[in-house]
Amino acid sequence: MTPYWQLLYHLVWATRDHRPWLVGETETLIHGYVRERVQALGGSVFAIGGMAEHLHLVTAIPPRIAVATFVGQVKSGSSARYNRRFPDGPRFFWHASYGVFTFDRKRLANAIDYVQNQARLHAEDAIIPVLERMDGGAPSLILQPETGYYIDSVTWRNEMLALDTDLFT
C-alpha cells in the first residue's frame, strides 16, 4: 500500500567554487538531468531555475527517501550525466552544501514564482536571503510567537479540507 503524502521543498545549491556554469546549453542540460533524476527517485518537479552559479528546485520528495539522500542523488546524478556527455571537456561539479526549506501547499505558487523569476529578483536586489542560503546549520530557536501565520481552528480546518485534491496528477 502506498502512503498519501504532500512533502514540498524548496532546495538550493551552487556549482563548485560558485563558477558560472549554468548558462546556455549547459543550463538546459543540467536542468533536464535534474528533472530526470528527481522523477526517477519518485519526486515531482514544480520549478527549476536559478542563476549562473546556483540552482533552485521546487519539488515534492516521497517519504521513503531522506532529504539528504535525495539531494545527494540528484546532484551526483546530474553532474555525472553531464560529465559523461562531455568526457573531454572541463568537469562539472556541485558545491557540497545545500539549503532546504519546507512549505505548505498554500505557498507552492509563491515558491514556483520565486524560482522562475530568479534573474529579475537578483537584478532588482529583491531576493529572500534565507531562500539563497546553502550553509550555516539549523535556524536558532525562535523565542517569540510567530505573527501573521496562526489562524483560528475553523479557518484552518476549512483550508485543510480544501486541500483534498490530488496535487500530484
CA contacts within 13 A on the Cβ side of 25? 3
| pTM for the structure as a whole | 0.85
160 assigned to some structural domain = no
6-20 residue pLDDT tens: 999 999 999 999 999
118-158 residue pLDDT tens: 999 999 999 998 889 998 877 665 555 555 656 667 776 67
The CATH number of the domain holding residue 30 is: 3.30.70.1290
Full domain range(s) for residue 63: 8-139
Three-class DSSP labels, 98-140? CEEEEECHHHHHHHHHHHHCHHHHHHCCCCCHHHHCCCCCCCC
154 assigned to some structural domain = no
147 assigned to some structural domain = no
